[in-house]
Structure 1
Amino acid sequence: MSLPELLLAGFLLLSVLGALLLSLPIAAEQPLNWHQALFTATSAVTVTGLGVVDTSSLSLFGQLVVLGLIQVGGLGFMTCAAMMMVLLGMRLPLYQKRLISESLEHTSFAELAQMVRLVVGFALATELAGTLLLSLVWMPEHGVAAGLWISAFHAISAFNNAGFSLWPDSLAREVADPLVNGVISLLFIVGGLGFVVIAELANWRPGRGLSLHARITLHASGGLILAAMACVLLFEWDNPATLGGLEGLGAKLQAAWFQAVTPRTAGFNTLDIGAMTTPSALLTMLWMFIGAGSGSTASGIKVTTFMVLLLVARAFLKGQARPVAFGRSLSARTVMEAVAVALAGMLLVFGCLLALTITEPGQDFLGLAFESVSAFATVGLSRGVTAELSASGQLVLIATMLLGRVGPISLGYLLATRKTESLRFAEGRVHVG
Structure 2
Amino acid sequence: MKVNPPQVLAFGFLFVILIGTISLKLPIASEGSLSWTDALFTATSATTVTGLVVVDTGSFFTTFGQVVLMMLMQVGGLGLMTFAVVIALLLGKKIGLTSRLLVQESFNQPTIGGMVSLVKLIVIFTFTVEAIAIMLLAIRWVPEYGWQEGLFVSTFHAISAFNNAGFSTWADSLSGYVGDPLVNLVITCLFIIGGIGFVVLADILKRKSFRKLQLHTKLMLVGTLIVNSIAMLVIFLLEYQNPATIGTFSLTDQLWASYFQAVTPRTAGFNSIDIGSMNEGSLLFMILLMFIGAGSASTGSGIKLTTFLVILIAMYTYLKGRKEAVAFQETISSSIIHRALAITTISALLVFGCVFLLTITEQTPFLATLFEAVSAFGTVGLSMGITANLSEPGKWIIMMLMFAGRIGPVTLAFALAKTESSTIQYKKGNVITG
Fold match (TM-score > 0.5): yes
Q: Percent identity?
A: 47
Q: Could you state the TM-score of these two structures normalised by the residue count of structure 2?
A: 0.96
Contact 2:31–2:61 at 8 Å: present in 1 too?
A: yes
Distance 1:401 1:328 in 2: 34
AA aligned to 1:276 is M
* Displacement after TM superposition at 1:23 (Å): 1.1
Distance 1:141 1:333 in 2: 54
Aligned to 2:81: 78
1:322 is the counterpart of 2:320: no
Distance 1:207 1:25 in 2: 53
Flag the 1:210–1:301 CA change in 2: closer, same or farther, 3 A: same
> Secondary structure in 2 aligned to 1:422?
coil
Between 90-99 and 339-348, report the one with greater CA deviation. 90-99
Contact 1:4–1:409 at 8 Å: present in 2 too?
A: no
* Displacement after TM superposition at 1:409 (Å): 5.7
Superposed, which structure 2 residues align to 1:330-349 within 5 Å? Answer: 330-349=332-351
Q: 1:163 aligns with which of 162, 166, 171?
A: 166
Flag the 1:207–1:176 CA change in 2: closer, same or farther, 3 A: closer
Q: 2:127 aligns with which of 124, 132, 136?
A: 124
AA aligned to 2:260 is F
Alpha-carbon RMSD across the aligned residues, in angstroms, is 1.5
Contact 1:55–1:168 at 8 Å: present in 2 too?
A: yes
> Secondary structure in 2 aligned to 1:176?
coil
AA aligned to 1:327 is Q
Runs of 5+ consecutive residues of structure 2 not aligned to the other structure: none
* Displacement after TM superposition at 1:117 (Å): 0.4
AA aligned to 1:285 is I
1:183 is the counterpart of 2:171: no
Flag the 1:10–1:325 CA change in 2: closer, same or farther, 3 A: same
Superposed, which structure 2 residues align to 1:278-293 within 5 Å? Answer: 278-293=280-295
1:219 is the counterpart of 2:228: no
Distance 1:244 1:205 in 2: 42
Between 116-125 and 24-33, report the one with greater CA deviation. 24-33
* Displacement after TM superposition at 1:116 (Å): 0.6
* Displacement after TM superposition at 1:29 (Å): 1.0
* Displacement after TM superposition at 1:107 (Å): 5.8
* Displacement after TM superposition at 1:379 (Å): 0.3
Aligned to 1:210: 213
AA aligned to 2:163 is N
Aligned to 2:397: 396
> Secondary structure in 1 aligned to 2:207?
coil
* Displacement after TM superposition at 1:205 (Å): 3.3
> Secondary structure in 1 aligned to 2:408?
helix
Aligned to 1:103: 106
Runs of 5+ consecutive residues of structure 1 not aligned to the other structure: none
Distance 1:432 1:87 in 2: 56
* Displacement after TM superposition at 1:71 (Å): 0.4
> Secondary structure in 2 aligned to 1:245?
coil
> Secondary structure in 1 aligned to 2:247?
helix
Aligned to 1:10: 12
Distance 1:351 1:181 in 2: 36
Aligned residues: 429
Flag the 1:412–1:309 CA change in 2: closer, same or farther, 3 A: farther
Superposed, which structure 2 residues align to 1:62-73 within 5 Å? Answer: 62-73=65-76
Contact 1:102–1:409 at 8 Å: present in 2 too?
A: no
Distance 1:398 1:281 in 2: 22
1:229 is the counterpart of 2:229: no
Q: Could you state the TM-score of these two structures normalised by the residue count of structure 1?
A: 0.96
* Displacement after TM superposition at 1:172 (Å): 0.3
Distance 1:421 1:59 in 2: 55
Contact 2:343–2:410 at 8 Å: present in 1 too?
A: no
Q: 1:19 aligns with which of 15, 18, 21?
A: 21
1:294 is the counterpart of 2:296: yes
Distance 1:409 1:80 in 2: 23
Aligned to 2:380: 379
> Secondary structure in 2 aligned to 1:47?
coil
> Secondary structure in 1 aligned to 2:154?
helix
Q: Deviations over 1:367-417 (max 9, x none)?
A: 110000000010000000111101111011111111111134616968xx9
Contact 2:158–2:187 at 8 Å: present in 1 too?
A: yes
* Displacement after TM superposition at 1:108 (Å): 3.7
